[in-house]
Structure 1
């Protein structure tokens, strides 16, 4: 991406980019295929799956996952340094996820200035995570949650119905290839801000994968947390 393109991305809200991508899909994909790709959204909404997701005020259990290079990263260790922004995404194959991760990369300096760290988690294997990092030029931690163990702790996991798997493969979403198993499980995209005590103080989960949390909302929450974190250090 050129410097001018990066500047244009910075000036445009994440959601407006996602909306433009969704509109492009409506224009380019056959109606039947589009319907099958959207069916999981309707199923998740009908089952009220979001009600099972981690909520503000709830504690996050500790976990350890490998990063893109195979190094183990432990959540409680990250918390020792400050608040942690945890973002679950579907995989490198998801254009909406790529837009989100790119936007979060642009916001990373502000996140770090506020004493927080950022980790992105998906069920894809470490090799695919590494390819994603290199392609999107990501410098924050990307973790592989193969089997969705941690995503399950956050209440995000669902299974794609067999009736729509062929449609997903048709557009490059071959989950067994990316995730290394035949479960066809995914996390609902979700982003959480966790304070140093391990409590979620911001939680955003939407069954509609075209909806993601704006970086500005994350930064605003971290700014409110900063005085609290500073007082804890002084004590």
Structure 2
């Protein structure tokens, strides 16, 4: 019950928080440009929140740009803004800076980013991959048994809306030839619609196989479903998604590598995956 409540709170966090920060940023800038007496506190509020709003906006609305890696940028501007705000300590702008700026960034890094996933005995290294089914882009039902007889890298990703997923898939596409050279198939699985996955496949235009987990059924059978994982305001993706997961499975269906990240911003680098492949088969 508590975990469900926390997940719901997280779902309500991102977009409403961005809207509130936008309003506060506009108010701070208008004060500074409105001919009022100069104020360190209002300047601190603007310095803390304007870059933060721009950063979050780019992260969520232009996720393929990969700016999510540069979380240090808003951290630095928020710290600078907080320093300016407390010089003068005007109540309203200082509250804006410390609550929405410093507090919001700390909440994002140390609370919102964590997935609260428990131990998953189904996907432990050495275990046989549980059976599940997904659909190909052309609507064909694909059972997990179809992956037997070949080495497979499976990446379960949340969808086109997820900035960390976009960076992860872009890195995989860039190194796809290196992975393919090792005789490994790459299968990308998401609960998003076939149209959105087809858009993704067309964007990268390499031989990675995109599959659709309708109704998140495969994720549930594997214990990696993320209920209420889609932020409020992200339209067209439903409310449930999958916990980001990367698996390497051998020809016999045995899991030889598993990354079940606890932090949605942290994904295994493609170089790390290639090293894992080499450690198993070379």
Q: Same fold (TM over 0.5)?
A: yes
Relative to 1, partners in 2 of residues 1:23 and 1:55: Cα closer, same or farther, differing over 3 Å? same
Choose the corresponding residue for 2:199, options 128, 131, 155.
Answer: 131
Does the 8 A contact of 2:156 with 2:188 survive in 1?
A: yes
Does the 8 A contact of 1:83 with 1:116 survive in 2?
A: yes
Q: Which secondary structure does the structure 1 equivalent of 2:281 belong to? A: helix
How far off its partner does 1:25 sit?
6.6
Q: Which residues of 2 match residues 17-96 of structure 1 at below 5 A?
A: 18-20=68-70, 22-23=71-72, 31=101, 39-42=111-114, 44-45=115-116, 49-52=117-120, 54-80=123-149, 82-96=150-164
Relative to 1, partners in 2 of residues 1:152 and 1:109: Cα closer, same or farther, differing over 3 Å? same
In the alignment, is residue 121 of structure 1 matched against residue 180 of structure 2?
no
How far off its partner does 1:131 sit?
1.3
How far off its partner does 1:146 sit?
1.9
Relative to 1, partners in 2 of residues 1:165 and 1:226: Cα closer, same or farther, differing over 3 Å? closer
**Which residues of structure 2 form unaligned runs of 5+?**
1-65, 79-99
Does the 8 A contact of 1:102 with 1:138 survive in 2?
A: no
Relative to 1, partners in 2 of residues 1:37 and 1:61: Cα closer, same or farther, differing over 3 Å? same
How many residue pairs align between the two structures? 192
Q: Which secondary structure does the structure 1 equivalent of 2:198 belong to? A: helix
The match for 2:252 is 197
Given the two structures, how large is their TM-score scaled by the length of structure 2? 0.59
**Which residues of structure 1 form unaligned runs of 5+?**
1-15, 228-235
Relative to 1, partners in 2 of residues 1:187 and 1:34: Cα closer, same or farther, differing over 3 Å? farther
Q: Distance in 2 between matches of 1:223 and 1:205?
A: 20
Does the 8 A contact of 1:193 with 1:201 survive in 2?
A: yes
How far off its partner does 1:159 sit?
1.7
Q: Deviations over 1:93-116 (max 9, x none)?
A: 112111100101112111111111
- Larger relative contact order, structure 1 or 2 (CA cutoff 8 Å, min sep 6): 1
Relative to 1, partners in 2 of residues 1:157 and 1:25: Cα closer, same or farther, differing over 3 Å? farther
How far off its partner does 1:165 sit?
4.5
Q: Which secondary structure does the structure 1 equivalent of 2:215 belong to? A: coil
Q: Distance in 1 between matches of 2:198 and 2:128?
A: 29
Q: Distance in 2 between matches of 1:17 and 1:40?
A: 18
Relative to 1, partners in 2 of residues 1:99 and 1:25: Cα closer, same or farther, differing over 3 Å? farther
The match for 1:154 is 222
Does the 8 A contact of 1:60 with 1:200 survive in 2?
A: yes
The match for 1:108 is 176
Structure with the higher fraction of residues in helix conformation? 2
